[in-house]
Amino acid sequence: MIGRLRGTLASKQPGEVLIDCGGVGYQAHISLQTFYALPPSGAPVELLAVTNLRENALELFAFATAEERSAFHLLRSVSGIGPRLAISILSGIAPADLAKAVAAGDLARLVAIPGIGKKTAERVLLDLRGKLAPEPSAASAPAQGIEEDAVSALVGLGYKRSEAERMVRAAAGSSDGTIEDLIRRALMRQPASAAG
């Protein structure tokens, strides 16, 4: 079983990544969440991975964060959801937002995700109730999604998650509300030697 991919990002496109690990290229399916957290092609990268063995193929699914990988495993436990649909769902909703939707029983939010019909959404709400813990609410709730995306992007650049969260918190107050500005300000506040 392959649980982690660390090497050079050979190429990336929405839904797929190719990582050169010591001369061997590993192709993996990714969500849009992970795609946006990836560094430029040619840069070092480390992703968590899940190996899926099918009758006639070995597939890899890669994730920028442990939260996304956990959500992937939970979605896979829902009847009728295979690995590709789970990745598709995570392209349409971040793990924290999925947890909130399940906790609130928000059927409309799940049905809005491409590839999920009403019956599948109902099964997700039923099967995952109590299994996904939503993040504690804060005064800046609307910004949480942007902040989580910024943290994921910094993790993709090689920062430890705890350090990335600290950097984003420090930069959040002075950001103009866009993820690009938040990431730029977080990086400006950090010594260049901190990544890696």
Tell me what pLDDT residue 131 has: 80
pLDDT band with cut points at 50, 70 and 90 for residue 189: low
Stated as kind and residue range, the H or E segment containing 68 is helix 66-76
Per-residue pLDDT of 11-44, as tens digits, reads 999 999 999 998 899 999 999 999 999 999 999 9
State the pTM of this model.
0.65
Q: How far apart are CA 59 and CA 56, in angstroms?
A: 10
Per-residue pLDDT of 57-104, as tens digits, reads 889 999 999 999 999 999 999 988 899 999 999 998 899 899 998 888
Q: How far apart are CA 70 and CA 87, in angstroms?
A: 12
Tell me what pLDDT residue 42 has: 92
Token pair of 62, please?
């890669």
| Domains, in order of start, for the chain | 4-63 (2.40.50.140), 82-128 (1.10.150.20), 141-194 (1.10.8)
Q: Please check the confidence at residue 137 and state whether its pLDDT lies above 70.
A: no
